[in-house]
Structure 1
Amino acid sequence: MVFTGVLTKMQTEFLDPIQYYLVFENDFIHMNQLLNKTINIKLVGHQCLSCGLDKPIYRQGFCRTCFFDQPLAGDWIMRPELSTAHLGKEDRDLDYEKKVQLQPHIVYLANSSNVKVGVTRKSQVPTRWIDQGAHEALEIVEVPNRYLAGITEVALKEHVGDKTNWRTMLKNEIKDENLLEWRQKLKQYIPEQTQQYYIENNSETHLHFPVEQYPVKPKSLNINKTPSYSGKLIGIKGQYLIFEDNTVFNVRSNEGLVVELSV
């Protein structure tokens, strides 16, 4: 079987284990069914996720021009505290920014390589946790817009991490944490402006990933430098494909690349 298409982050289904799907324009690939099979990945071009042109991908699946023009790549995406739609102030496209920023957002704790705080739209729970490779997560604050979530995250990351160590996550060198205790410990640091949105009574979400064997020394595949790769797929975690030879491939960080995938 040969599939050709533009890489975008894998779609997921919250089951036990997580189900993964690679979606191309003309193909829909259930990646779990490819476990223990040899997969060949070949780079054949680029296609910006915005303008659709065959131009080098700069960041987040966009060419350089689109990355600095499109509202989907505004600074507030990575730094929610910079959101301004609640003030009626435009960054790049106010209609788009209102649509995304002015909806319920969750501040959460997740454990993927360590306990970290993060922000996501409520509609993206638990997808966000799956994409991060978290094996447990807990909502701690639900607010009506992205800005309030952002300032809460900024306050809490003074006392808990906000980054995932991808190598530790992929090696599964993690320990279970009591996120309920972490939530209680961090409660005092929630800004006064968002204390009313604190979530008092809920339970941890646990996630299980389809991994036959974790890599001992994961090495990241860069298909811009190694445009053709072949390996046996033995696991999927976060947005990573894990191969038998310790090679790992981050699908999301390669969005916008056109590949030929054969099995």
Structure 2
Amino acid sequence: MRSVQLQGQLEKMAISATTDGAAHYELVLGKTRTGLNALLGQTVQLDYQGAIHCSACGRRTKTSFAQGYCYPCFTSLAQCDSCMMSPEKCHFHLGTCREPDWAEQVCFNEHIVYLANSSGLKVGITRATQMPTRWLDQGAVQALPIARVATRRLSGLLEDLFRREVADKTNWRALLKGDAPLLNLAAERDRLFGHFSGELLALQREHGPAAIQLLEASTGQHFHYPVLQYPAKIVSLNLDKTPQVRGRLLGLKGQYLLLDSGVINLRKYTSYQVAFSA
């Protein structure tokens, strides 16, 4: 059994999927990556070393804001603005964007509105270039693109419409208790398109048919995650309260490590200086 010892600035786990939907995980510490699937069943340890460096400017910060930023960057960068979480609130057209040049590169790209099944049916959005990464990060067992739109704001407007009928959040506790029962996502898509046909037509007329393309014949994807055993009881581990986390690695799902001592969302600790051993 090989020994693994690494340290560096923690980033969200890198996840890829094979053609049959099997998720493969890598722990990312600075410029170093190590595969995690092969460590299933082994004892692993994370040690928070007491330092957080902003993922944008690199300055040391006592508290991480918005998963890895210092407070000045959190309050000044466009990527930390509230419209990133609620894109229907985009205010670029009002001339008040924090960083118009950054927004031109990120927000005015093709986005996808999708249905996914992680802890149950949900609607979400992602940049077209982030499929299937976004779904794997959420621990989805199924995902189906349902619309292709020209801008992030338009994706938010569609998501805001559909969430009148469908949740837009994942129940993380349900996610970590087992795989959600499979759903007919195509049927759910057709139901939403029919229910909101008038509103969708109005949006297409306002923004142009090329700006909002409904994907009525898209195909979905299925994913499965490396899990030996789901926890009988969900115990959430916190590096701020317990700087050393140790346990037998029972599984990997979404951005969570499932240990016999509890579960931990590594994305929450982006920019933390961490030592890892197995």
Q: TM-score, normalised by structure 1?
A: 0.94
8 Å Cα contact 1:109/1:116 also seen in 2: yes
Tell me: CA distance 1:214–1:243, structure 2 relative to 1, closer, same or farther (3 Å).
Answer: same
CA RMSD, 1 decimal: 1.5
Tell me what 1:149 maps to: 155
Tell me what 2:267 maps to: 252
Equivalent-residue separation in structure 2 for 1:230 and 1:25 (angstroms) = 21
Structure 2 residue identity aligned to 1:182: E
Tell me what 1:193 maps to: 203
Could you say what secondary structure the match of 2:65 adopts? strand
Offset at 1:194?
4.0
Tell me what 1:18 maps to: 23
Equivalent-residue separation in structure 1 for 2:133 and 2:221 (angstroms) = 12
* Aligned: 1:234 with 2:250: yes
Tell me what 1:68 maps to: 75
Moved more, 146-155 or 54-63: 54-63
Tell me: CA distance 1:185–1:132, structure 2 relative to 1, closer, same or farther (3 Å).
Answer: same
Could you say what secondary structure the match of 1:81 adopts? helix
Tell me: CA distance 1:47–1:161, structure 2 relative to 1, closer, same or farther (3 Å).
Answer: same
* Aligned: 1:261 with 2:276: yes
| Cα deviations by residue, 1:208-236 (Å, 9 ceiling, x for unpaired) | 11111111212111010001121011110
Equivalent-residue separation in structure 2 for 1:194 and 1:74 (angstroms) = 27
Q: Which runs of 5+ in 1 are unaligned?
A: none
8 Å Cα contact 1:105/1:119 also seen in 2: yes
8 Å Cα contact 2:10/2:30 also seen in 1: no
Offset at 1:88?
7.7
Structure 2 residue identity aligned to 1:65: P
* Aligned: 1:42 with 2:57: no
Structure 1 residue identity aligned to 2:139: G
| Cα deviations by residue, 1:165-219 (Å, 9 ceiling, x for unpaired) | 0000111152111101100000032532148411011222101111111112121
State, as a whole percentage, how many aligned pairs show the same letter.
Answer: 37
Offset at 1:84?
4.0
Aligned length: 261
Could you say what secondary structure the match of 1:139 adopts? strand
* Aligned: 1:7 with 2:5: no
* Aligned: 1:109 with 2:115: yes
Tell me what 1:31 maps to: 36
8 Å Cα contact 2:141/2:179 also seen in 1: no
Equivalent-residue separation in structure 1 for 2:74 and 2:232 (angstroms) = 35
Could you say what secondary structure the match of 2:84 adopts? helix
Equivalent-residue separation in structure 2 for 1:2 and 1:222 (angstroms) = 21
Q: Which runs of 5+ in 2 are unaligned?
A: none
| Cα deviations by residue, 1:49-82 (Å, 9 ceiling, x for unpaired) | 1121221212221122211112221212111112
Q: TM-score, normalised by structure 2?
A: 0.90
8 Å Cα contact 2:11/2:30 also seen in 1: no
Runs of 4+ in 1 over 6 A off after TM superposition: none
